[in-house]
């Protein structure tokens, strides 16, 4: 089987000591057990009551042992396979994978460079671009199509993603109805329910609402995932200072409690089903009322969450390649680099939102190209350093001697293609050559690359029978749901 592990071989970031992780875990247990949370899904409340939770109307208080039990049964690793059935990601441990985000209301048009409302074709374009980029490991919808019936938007996006890429997907869905159609298509793709359970094709993004509420739709999607073995994310988006405490530890503790609360419902429904822990660590800017994805406090809670995930030994949902800036400018470069580097260094597993600008409201294909390059460059970095006779090569130094050069030694030839990483859009030209090539900045070069790939890259076609099944199921849904 293909080895897809890519954990950093150099040092790791750590934000919390073991003692601090334990303290935050105990605080989360206290929140779940003594304060409790609102669960609006009736069947879930029954399931929780039968298991021993204290249920009073919609309020559910979770005893510690149910959380401990769920931690025992949840898998430490989730294997994700691409459309063709090849292993693509080993979620868990310190492996880091990257992909687009979902549901951006606006898109920077690659041709006009204008910001406009997102359309379904933007979903297709982003998928096709990511299919061609070597370091985009999975795809989300990127755009939220505003040119279709909102109740159809997720399923229609799913169809575009499946058609335009063989890479595994992370899906958002309105509720269990459209999600069920996606699961049915994936079941056809794999050739049966059991086969899909063995080789999941997509992961589903689900979220509770902070503080401490679990909507019906979130839980029914969570249950559908548990029933079918489709891995489920259950990641709240507590907004520090607004829907969660403003301090990092309080922000983290509430988020941990909300995600683990979902884990219990999920594991009670089907023990051993694959699950991803997470916290969308958004921070409310108290002056502009914007929700920053790149405030240092965001990074802190994010990194604390990953520390907690590794300590709990549960795969995590994470973030990378996003900026608050409205443009792909120096701020964007700085934020993309910092966030993505931290995610890789700490071993955050399934990192989305590549290509986000403007607080998760506007998408940029140029930014996706830039992040792909950044991830590629850093995958080289995190491979670590091989130190042995061949790489230290004292004999070559002897052969060359003082005043010689290494341009034509056998050792240089032997390592020429593997020793150095090559950029595709970062500039390595001298001034004159750069000027002769049009004095382009990074955004222009990334745009050129995106346009070229979109014009030339032909994703592997969906088999005829599957394409028919996909159309039939999607059309039946769109005919039925007004």
Partner 1 sequence: MAFDKLIELVQVGDGQQVAAEVQKQLDAGNSAPTILNDGLIAAMDIVGEKMESEEMFIPEVLRSAKAMEQGLAVMKDELALDDVQASGKVVIGTVKGDLHDIGKNLVSMLLSSAGFEVIDAGINVAPDAFVAKVEETGANFLAMSALLTTTMPMMKQTIAELEQRGLRDRVKVIIGGAPVNQGYADELGADGYASDAGAAIKLAKSLRA
> 99: helix, coil or strand?
strand
Max alpha carbon distance in the chain (Å)? 83
Q: Which range touches partner 1 (CB under 8 A), out of 57-65, 84-92, 429-437, 445-453?
A: 429-437
Using the Cα atoms of residue 240, residue 244, residue 246 and residue 250 in order, give the sign of their dihedral: negative
Q: Which range touches partner 1 (CB under 8 A), out of 43-51, 57-65, 80-88, 412-420?
A: 412-420
- Residue 81: φ, ψ to 5°: -115, 150
Residue 211: is the preceding peptide bond cis (ω within 30°)?
yes
Burial of 154 (0-12, 13-18, 19+ CB in 10 A): buried
Among 9, 86, 285, 413, binds partner 1 (CB under 8 A): 413
Nearer of residues 72 and 424 to partner 1, judged by Cβ: 424
DSSP string, 186-209: HHHHHTSHHHHHHS--EEEEE--B
Give the nearest distance from C-beta 430 to partner 1 in angstroms: 5
Among 1, 431, 438, 456, binds partner 1 (CB under 8 A): 431
Nearer of residues 65 and 434 to partner 1, judged by Cβ: 434
Among 114, 386, 432, 479, binds partner 1 (CB under 8 A): 432
Please tell me whether residue 408 binds partner 1 under the rule CB under 8 A.
Answer: yes
Give the nearest distance from C-beta 375 to partner 1 in angstroms: 21
Nearer of residues 112 and 408 to partner 1, judged by Cβ: 408
Map the footprint of partner 1 across residues 344-403, applying CB under 8 A: 403
- CA dist., res. 133 & res. 372, Å (int): 7
Closest CA to 178 of 159, 199, 200, 195: 159
Give the nearest distance from C-beta 416 to partner 1 in angstroms: 6
**Tokens found for residue 431:** 């001034």
Q: Which range touches partner 1 (CB under 8 A), out of 116-124, 198-206, 306-314, 431-439?
A: 431-439
Give the nearest distance from C-beta 412 to partner 1 in angstroms: 5
Map the footprint of partner 1 across residues 305-334, applying CB under 8 A: none
Please tell me whether residue 456 binds partner 1 under the rule CB under 8 A.
Answer: no
Nearer of residues 389 and 417 to partner 1, judged by Cβ: 417
Burial of 76 (0-12, 13-18, 19+ CB in 10 A): exposed
Please tell me whether residue 407 binds partner 1 under the rule CB under 8 A.
Answer: yes
- CA dist., res. 125 & res. 200, Å (int): 24
Place of tokens 């073995």: 229
Please tell me whether residue 482 binds partner 1 under the rule CB under 8 A.
Answer: no
Map the footprint of partner 1 across residues 145-164, applying CB under 8 A: none
Give the nearest distance from C-beta 453 to partner 1 in angstroms: 17
In sequence order, what are the residues at sequence separation of 6 or more whose Cβ sits closer than 8 angstroms to the Cβ of residue 375? 98, 135, 320, 321, 340, 344
Among 430, 479, 480, 482, binds partner 1 (CB under 8 A): 430
Give the nearest distance from C-beta 414 to partner 1 in angstroms: 10
**Tokens found for residue 58:** 């919609």
Q: Which range touches partner 1 (CB under 8 A), out of 26-34, 97-105, 394-402, 424-432?
A: 424-432
Please tell me whether residue 416 binds partner 1 under the rule CB under 8 A.
Answer: yes
363, β-bridge pairs: 107, 356
Please tell me whether residue 2 binds partner 1 under the rule CB under 8 A.
Answer: no
Among 73, 166, 412, 478, binds partner 1 (CB under 8 A): 412
Please tell me whether residue 405 binds partner 1 under the rule CB under 8 A.
Answer: yes
Q: Which range touches partner 1 (CB under 8 A), out of 198-206, 347-355, 377-385, 406-414?
A: 406-414
For the CA atoms of 377, 383, 384, 389, the dihedral, rounded to the nearest 10 degrees, stands at -110
Alpha carbon distances (Å) from 156 to 204, 286, 364, 439: 16, 37, 21, 40
Binding region for partner 1 (CB under 8 A): 403, 405, 407-408, 412-413, 416-417, 430-433
């Amino acid at each position: 089987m293909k080895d897809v592990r890519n954990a950093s071989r150099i040092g790791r970031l750590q934000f919390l000591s073991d003692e601090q992780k334990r303290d935050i875990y105990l605080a989360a247990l206290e929140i779940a057990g003594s304060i409790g949370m609102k669960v609006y899904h009736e069947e879930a409340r029954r399931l929780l009551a039968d298991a021993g939770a204290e249920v009073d109307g919609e309020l559910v208080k979770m005893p510690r042992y149910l959380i401990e039990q769920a931690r025992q049964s949840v898998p430490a690793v989730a294997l994700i396979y691409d459309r063709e059935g090849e292993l693509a990601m080993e979620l868990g441990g310190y492996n880091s994978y990257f992909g687009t985000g979902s549901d951006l209301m606006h898109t920077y048009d690659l041709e006009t460079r204008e910001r406009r409302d997102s359309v379904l074709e933007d979903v297709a374009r982003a998928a096709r671009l990511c299919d061609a980029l070597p370091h985009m490991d999975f795809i989300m919808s990127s755009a939220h199509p505003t040119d279709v019936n909102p109740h159809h938007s997720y399923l229609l996006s799913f169809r575009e993603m499946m058609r335009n890429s063989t890479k595994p997907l992370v899906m958002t869905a309105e509720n269990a109805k459209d999600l069920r159609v996606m699961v049915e298509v994936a079941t056809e793709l794999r050739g049966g329910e059991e086969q899909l359970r063995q080789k999941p094709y997509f992961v589903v993004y689900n979220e509770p609402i902070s503080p401490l509420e679990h909507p019906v739709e979130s839980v029914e999607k969570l249950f559908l995932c548990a029933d079918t073995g489709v891995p489920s994310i259950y990641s709240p988006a507590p907004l520090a200072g607004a829907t969660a405490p403003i301090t990092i530890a309080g922000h983290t503790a509430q988020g941990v409690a909300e995600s683990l609360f979902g884990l219990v419902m999920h594991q009670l429904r089907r023990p051993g089903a694959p699950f991803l822990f997470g916290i969308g660590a958004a921070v409310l800017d108290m002056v502009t009322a914007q929700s920053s994805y790149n405030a240092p406090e965001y990074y802190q809670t994010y990194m604390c969450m990953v520390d907690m995930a590794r300590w709990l030994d549960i795969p995590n949902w994470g973030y990378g390649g996003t900026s608050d800036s409205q443009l792909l400018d120096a701020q964007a470069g700085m934020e993309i680099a910092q966030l993505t580097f931290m995610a890789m260094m700490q071993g955050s597993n399934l990192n989305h939102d590549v290509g986000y600008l403007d607080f998760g409201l506007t998408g940029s294909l140029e930014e996706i190209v830039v992040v792909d390059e950044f991830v590629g460059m850093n995958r080289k970095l995190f491979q670590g350093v091989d130190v042995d006779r061949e790489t230290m090569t004292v004999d070559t130094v002897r052969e060359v001697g003082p005043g010689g050069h290494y341009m034509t030694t056998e050792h240089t030839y032997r390592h020429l293609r593997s020793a150095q990483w090559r950029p595709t859009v970062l500039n390595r030209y001298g001034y004159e050559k750069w000027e002769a090539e049009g004095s382009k900045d990074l955004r222009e070069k990334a745009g050129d690359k995106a346009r070229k790939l979109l014009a030339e890259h032909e994703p592997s076609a969906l088999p005829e029978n599957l394409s028919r099944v996909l159309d039939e199921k999607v059309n039946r849904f769109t005919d039925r749901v007004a």
